[in-house]
Amino acid sequence: MDSYIDLKNITTEELKNADLDRIDVTGSPPDMEPHRQYYFMAKCRQIVKSESERLGRPLYACSVCFGCQMNARDSEKLLGVLRSAGFRESDSEDADFVIYNTCTVRDNANQRVFGRLGVLNGYKKKNPYMKVALCGCMMQEDLVIKKLRRSYSFVDLIFGTHNLYKFAELLYRCYTEKGMIVDIWEDTDKIVEDLPVDRKFPFKSGVNIMFGCNNFCSYCIVPYVRGRERSRAPEEILREIKELAADGVKEVMLLGQNVNSYGKEPAGTGFLSFPELLREVEKVEGIERIRFMTSHPKDLSDELIEVMGQSKKICRHLHLPLQSGSTRILEKMNRRYTKESYLVLAEKIRRAIPDISLTTDIIVGFPGETREDADDTIDVIRKVQFDNAFTFVYSKRTGTPAAAMEQVPDGEVRENFDRILACVQETARERVKRFEGQVLPVLVEEINEQDNSLVTGRLTNNTVVHFPGDASLIGEIVDVKLVRCEGFYYIGEMGKDGNG
């Protein structure tokens, strides 16, 4: 029989490829990370194994993700741990272990979680061995935890954004201790590398480059639930991207709340700036497309525009949240740019990279917003001509400065929202179709959900294209003729002349 692996004498690199069943778990857990988490994964494997022997079937885990790309990446990490612990993945929430990775950016995200928890309780009554876990941004709110303790006592495990790396350890506790386990940290400066990740797509991947946010836009809860801004070391990021490329990944999405301030925090580290980091990512062989999310307009440098303009790999897409087109409202939002400076910036980007697509986020109904303020937003939409704009009704978040400001009545918000949305749809429709008739490369992502004779992919500018094809194309970059634009997407045909 193979000898046991002693966690005291193994490098992180060896650990990542080790057979978890060979890890020696007879002693106490190591203090060092990520070794400690691998110890608990090995412990969990024993529990999962004996439980599934008892039940005569595998144990299933279901991971549900709410919210943004950051959460999607975190969910891949949760799934990586669950799979390493011996669970099989399931799409059904009627599973043995269900985990919700929550979002709290707007209140409706919270309401959805509470609504679905009721359904989980029903499943749990039928399956007494079922465990329910909650994590993510919403769990960083005191009021949420109070409500869960009071009215949702069937939840087994709750943790937040700062200690996600300890999931294996918490999972073990969940199976060995009684009662609800709640572990929420206020903040952290720790970044733990090299935990298992179960990617949703083999050919593309998110890569965290920084965590947290220091901007404190007055409506936003993110700085309170994701903590202070901290960047990951460039060597770690590049190492991860090289590993991803070796594993068949063609497209990476660099993730951060404000990627333009990458490298500034923690101060004094001598990290690269964001444009410098992009230049390094560009050199990684095998990576063909580079995306990033999200850029704050106040920090977008000329150097970034230059690097994007010169790059062969950085996608022709920039998501540049506007939030409002009214300088008066932008000031109350603490955004630190004006209507005019945003317009100048958009113009500068368009001049340097003419084929770029600009997308944005807009909030309607921020405290004090009038019809005239909304008109300013509409004016910016008409001038910039976004390819898409995500339009949100302002949601009051407890603890943010805007929550204490005088709120706008719902009726007025609705009217402005409808006017802004109509403008977005009209301008985007015109803008998106500018490539009609051209042949452009598309990275094929999946079989079309509605019609399985079609595949769905994206142009470098992020526009979706549907065209006839089969599963063998998934993960490939192919030339597609953009035959017809249907609003926000294209119908195409493969091949240079559109004949296959």
* Residue 257 touches which of ligand SF4, ligand 5AD, none (Cβ within 5-8 Å per kind): ligand SF4
Stated length of the chain:
500
Q: With beta carbons less than 8 A apart as the criterion, state whether 416 and 364 touch.
A: yes
Question: Nearest approach, Cβ of 233 to ligand 5AD (angstroms)?
Answer: 26
For ligand SF4, give the closer residue by CB, 215 or 460: 215
Q: Which two tokens stand for residue 279?
A: 């230049």
Radius of gyration for the chain, computed over Cα atoms and rounded to the nearest angstrom = 24
323 DSSP assignment = B
Question: Nearest approach, Cβ of 220 to ligand 5AD (angstroms)?
Answer: 4
Cα–Cα distance for residue pair 133/128, rounded to 1 Å: 15
DSSP run (H or E) holding 95: none
Question: Nearest approach, Cβ of 449 to ligand 5AD (angstroms)?
Answer: 24
For ligand SF4, give the closer residue by CB, 321 or 475: 321
For ligand SF4, give the closer residue by CB, 36 or 296: 296
Cα–Cα distance for residue pair 121/127, rounded to 1 Å: 10
Cα–Cα distance for residue pair 385/383, rounded to 1 Å: 6
Q: With beta carbons less than 8 A apart as the criterion, state whether 362 and 423 touch.
A: no
The beta strands (E) that lie in 171-286 are given as 181-183, 204-208, 210-211, 230-231, 251-255
Per CB under 6 A, contacts with ligand SF4 among 187-216 are 213, 215-216
CA angle, residues 264, 269, 273, in degrees to nearest 5: 45
For ligand SF4, give the closer residue by CB, 130 or 209: 209
Question: Nearest approach, Cβ of 131 to ligand 5AD (angstroms)?
Answer: 31
Among 113, 220, 353, 356, interactor with ligand SF4 by CB under 6 A: 220
Question: Nearest approach, Cβ of 291 to ligand 5AD (angstroms)?
Answer: 16
For ligand 5AD, give the closer residue by CB, 317 or 397: 397
For ligand SF4, give the closer residue by CB, 96 or 373: 373
Question: Nearest approach, Cβ of 424 to ligand SF4 (angstroms)?
Answer: 19
Helices 167-176, 35-55: crossing angle, 10 deg rounding: 40
* Residue 215 touches which of ligand SF4, ligand 5AD, none (Cβ within 5-8 Å per kind): ligand SF4
Q: With beta carbons less than 8 A apart as the criterion, state whether 292 and 307 touch.
A: no
Binding site for ligand 5AD (CB under 6 A): 105-106, 219-220, 321, 323, 361, 363, 392, 394-395, 397
The beta strands (E) that lie in 317-419 are given as 317-319, 357-364, 388-393
Q: With beta carbons less than 8 A apart as the criterion, state whether 285 and 245 touch.
A: yes
Q: With beta carbons less than 8 A apart as the criterion, state whether 32 and 194 touch.
A: no
Name the nearest CA neighbour of 333 among 300, 299, 360, 368.
368
* Residue 106 touches which of ligand 5AD, ligand SF4, none (Cβ within 5-8 Å per kind): ligand 5AD
Question: Nearest approach, Cβ of 449 to ligand SF4 (angstroms)?
Answer: 30
* Residue 213 touches which of ligand SF4, ligand 5AD, none (Cβ within 5-8 Å per kind): ligand SF4
Which part of the chain contacts ligand SF4 (CB under 6 A), choosing from 32-40, 76-84, 219-227, 478-486? 219-227
For ligand SF4, give the closer residue by CB, 87 or 342: 342
Question: Nearest approach, Cβ of 331 to ligand 5AD (angstroms)?
Answer: 17
**Residue ranges in 160-221 assigned as alpha helix (H):** 167-176
Among 63, 231, 257, 395, interactor with ligand SF4 by CB under 6 A: 257
Q: Which two tokens stand for residue 249?
A: 């990944």
Cα–Cα distance for residue pair 408/116, rounded to 1 Å: 30
Place of tokens 């991971």: 63
Cα–Cα distance for residue pair 5/12, rounded to 1 Å: 13
* Residue 397 touches which of ligand 5AD, ligand SF4, none (Cβ within 5-8 Å per kind): ligand 5AD
For ligand 5AD, give the closer residue by CB, 86 or 367: 367
Does the protein bind ligand SF4 through residue 4 (CB under 6 A)? no
Q: Which two tokens stand for residue 261?
A: 């301030």
Cα–Cα distance for residue pair 272/264, rounded to 1 Å: 9
* Residue 394 touches which of ligand SF4, ligand 5AD, none (Cβ within 5-8 Å per kind): ligand 5AD
For ligand 5AD, give the closer residue by CB, 105 or 133: 105
Within 13 Å, how many C-alpha atoms sit on residue 22's CB side?
Answer: 13
Which part of the chain contacts ligand SF4 (CB under 6 A), choosing from 22-30, 131-139, 220-228, 424-432? 220-228
* Residue 264 touches which of ligand SF4, ligand 5AD, none (Cβ within 5-8 Å per kind): none
Does the protein bind ligand SF4 through residue 117 (CB under 6 A)? no
Does the protein bind ligand SF4 through residue 222 (CB under 6 A)? yes
Per CB under 6 A, contacts with ligand SF4 among 267-326 are 296
Q: With beta carbons less than 8 A apart as the criterion, state whether 255 and 208 touch.
A: yes
Alpha carbon of residue 165 to chain centroid: 16
* Residue 223 touches which of ligand 5AD, ligand SF4, none (Cβ within 5-8 Å per kind): ligand SF4
For ligand SF4, give the closer residue by CB, 236 or 299: 299
Question: Nearest approach, Cβ of 253 to ligand 5AD (angstroms)?
Answer: 15
Beta-carbon neighbour count of residue 410 at 10 Å?
11
Residue 20 amino acid letter: L
Q: With beta carbons less than 8 A apart as the criterion, state whether 444 and 474 touch.
A: yes
Question: Nearest approach, Cβ of 217 to ligand SF4 (angstroms)?
Answer: 3
Contact residues: ligand SF4, CB under 6 A: 213, 215-217, 220, 222-223, 257-258, 296
